[in-house]
Amino acid sequence: MKKIKFISLATICMLLTSSVMSSCDFFRSGTSESSLSNNQNNSEITILNGKTARLNVGDTLQLEIEVSNADKNEVVYATKNEQVATVSSDGLITAIKEGITSIIAMIGDAQAKIDIFVNSKEYEIDSIYLSIDKKTMRTGETIPASISVDPEDYIDDAVLNVIEGQDLVSIEGNQITALKSGTAKLQAECHGYLSDIIDLSIYDFDISVSSSIIAGEHERLSIRNYSGNKSDLKWWIEDSSIISINTSAVGDIFVNGDEIGQTDFYLYNEDGLISNTLTISVIGGNPYLDIDKNQFYDDYTRATDYTDAMYRSECDLMSGWIEVPDQEPTVSSYQPSKSGKLIHNTTMNYSNNNRTYTVLDANGDKAFDIYYGAAYTSLEEVAAYIYAWGDIPINYTSNKSANPSRSVWGEYLRLNNSEFSGDTDGYPYEPELPEISGCDGNLIYYEIDIGTTGTDCDPKWKPELYNDGKEIVRGAARIVYSRYYADTGKEVKPEDRYVFYTYNHYNDFQEYLNYENGWGEMFGNITGGGVISSKVPGEYNPTPYVETIREPLN
């Protein structure tokens, strides 16, 4: 990690009169004293170009504005730093030299601002990304930030800007410390190139309760890191018809489920301390308790939300697609790439207290949701499930010989969750997976079955249906994923998570790229022209892992 420098824009003076104007550092053009003193108390002004803009030296940008209750011709423009960019009387911005400035548009006592980032044309930066471990944090907590720049030669020039809420956080090196509650907006900048803005929500103390409460019941609210008197706490509820809150004689706080629905709420006190915000779903009873399974699958649809999926799991019913997948994965017709390498998407969209994971498509738009603790069999959903939680769906068992006729999951039972050896000495036709333990790496991989319609690429494995509800014929299709660190035994972090698919019994692999139909280039023995599963020298030729670039989808 390179050292991150912090820049905070200075407070901009409001221009109201010609005397105030002379005491500020702003450059102005075409402004008269009468126009400055003519306040329009009910006027509003909006800059339509957005909150920020990036220009090269010599570029110009015409501001587009919208005013109400005022004459548009009375708008006054000013710049914080005329050495970086100037602005004309009609709102034409000219970039002068590399740096950061702000342009103000004012009319009467109303004003709007746009931040201008000017870079020299000599810098050609392909991308800049800012990431932080989480988007909510408690006051006093410290979390790291990470900036990546392509090309990496410019990483030392990258800066971290707090563009809103400068008093809410402090930054030292690459560490962000929360000072007080509110929402801070963070953005990385390098020679005028900007990352996406990250909203960081800061609260003072923690509250927690089950995400779902049955209508007519209540649950005790857990409160941590609050040293005050609980009886002094108040609450805000987005929809008070769905939940209500009451306290007991000993100060315990309870959340009551009043009406089916979903709402947000938080706690606060008169001193301004505020809790994190919780989303609560009030639900009815399980609608699947007395359902006929045959009728359920005859009229089958995927689970609609987390609560629906949990009701299904309670009754041993599927939540995902139930069509038996073909052996070959469906690969997206568009796959984002950079510098000749496919993009491995690092965006991980969780909700519902990390129980819902949103899978994106190749364009970065929502494709579908999966739910922790639900049942899945399709390649796309199982791969996404393992990538999201490093765990297996509820209809899986590690037993390799379980009988579906004796399982509540029947034909949807899936087997195997065992350590993958990755022994390239014993199995020389297998390619070496990234950082795998036993090959000078620190990642222990596991494997699970993917039940397909069979295989037509390995004569040792019959092209039969994996599970007909009476017996299981284990095929050659597997998901292999990084699960633990060899040195600590702890579960791998997202940055070290790999999920691979092989449908010819470990001869070739494709990497799951964390988006719908995102499967990487195939590598391995058959790809290299080798003979299937051969251990005869000269008959195997596994090609190496095809590296990808880990970054968020645009």
pLDDT, residue 28, reads: 35
Sorted by sequence, the CB contacts under 8 Å of residue 85 that are 6+ apart come out as 55, 79, 93, 94, 95, 96, 101, 103, 116, 118
Tell me which residue of 250, 230, 126, 118 sits closest to 554, measured CA to CA. 126
SS3 414: strand
CB 382 within 8 A of CB 395: no
Are 160 and 244 contained in the same domain?
A: no
pLDDT, residue 56, reads: 84
119, 144, 174 — which closes off a domain?
119
Q: Is residue 291 part of a domain?
A: no
Are 371 and 313 contained in the same domain?
A: yes
Are 365 and 486 contained in the same domain?
A: yes
Give the C-alpha separation, 320 to 380, whole Å. Answer: 10
Are 278 and 303 contained in the same domain?
A: no
Q: Is residue 290 part of a domain?
A: no
Per-residue model confidence as pLDDT tens digits over 61-98: 999 999 988 888 889 999 999 999 999 999 999 999 88
Are 456 and 431 contained in the same domain?
A: yes
Give the C-alpha separation, 428 to 536, whole Å. Answer: 9
Q: Is residue 289 part of a domain?
A: no
Are 103 and 211 contained in the same domain?
A: no
pLDDT, residue 192, reads: 77
pLDDT, residue 121, reads: 65
Q: Is residue 275 part of a domain?
A: yes
Are 257 and 300 contained in the same domain?
A: no
Q: Is residue 228 part of a domain?
A: yes
283, 314, 340 — which closes off a domain?
283
Number of Cβ within 10 Å of residue 542's Cβ equals 23
Tell me which residue of 57, 105, 110, 124 sits closest to 85, measured CA to CA. 57
If you write DSSP's letter for every residue of 326-339 in order, what string do you get? PSSPP--S---EET
How far lies 430's CA from each of 434, 443, 458, 505, 510, in Å?
Answer: 13, 17, 14, 9, 13
If you write DSSP's letter for every residue of 142-173 in order, what string do you get? EEEEEEEEESGGGGGG-EEEEEE-TTTEEEET
Q: Please state the pTM of the whole predicted model.
A: 0.56
Sorted by sequence, the CB contacts under 8 Å of residue 440 that are 6+ apart come out as none
Per-residue model confidence as pLDDT tens digits over 351-393: 887 899 999 999 999 999 999 999 999 999 999 999 999 999 9
Q: Is residue 2 part of a domain?
A: no
Give the C-alpha separation, 267 to 393, whole Å. Answer: 35
Domain extent for 488: 296-554
Are 150 and 65 contained in the same domain?
A: no
From first to last of its 554 residues, the chain has per-residue pLDDT tens of 333 433 333 333 333 333 333 333 333 333 322 233 334 457 889 999 888 888 888 899 999 999 988 888 889 999 999 999 999 999 999 999 888 899 999 998 889 999 998 877 667 788 899 999 888 999 999 999 999 998 888 898 888 989 889 999 998 878 999 999 999 999 998 887 888 889 999 999 999 998 888 888 899 999 999 988 888 899 999 999 999 999 887 788 999 999 989 999 999 999 999 999 999 999 887 889 889 999 999 999 999 999 899 999 999 999 999 999 889 999 999 999 999 999 999 999 998 878 999 999 999 999 999 999 999 999 999 999 999 999 999 999 999 999 999 999 999 999 999 999 989 999 999 999 999 998 889 999 999 999 998 877 777 777 789 999 999 999 899 999 999 999 999 999 999 999 999 999 999 999 999 999 999 999 999 999 999 999 999 999 999 999 999 999 86
pLDDT, residue 344, reads: 97
Are 94 and 214 contained in the same domain?
A: no
- Name beta bridge partners: 100: 117
Are 369 and 393 contained in the same domain?
A: yes
Are 315 and 400 contained in the same domain?
A: yes
E strand or H helix that includes residue 54: strand 52-56
203, 220, 235 — which closes off a domain?
203
CA dihedral 195→492→504→384, nearest 10 degrees, is: -50
CATH number of the domain where residue 158 is located? 2.60.40.1080
How many domains would you assign to the chain? Answer: 4
Phi, psi of 73 (to 5 degrees): -70, -15
Half-sphere exposure at residue 493, Cβ-oriented, CA atoms within 13 angstroms:
4
Q: Is residue 1 part of a domain?
A: no
Are 442 and 483 contained in the same domain?
A: yes
Give the C-alpha separation, 55 to 49, whole Å. Answer: 13
pLDDT, residue 554, reads: 67
Give the C-alpha separation, 5 to 147, whole Å. Answer: 11
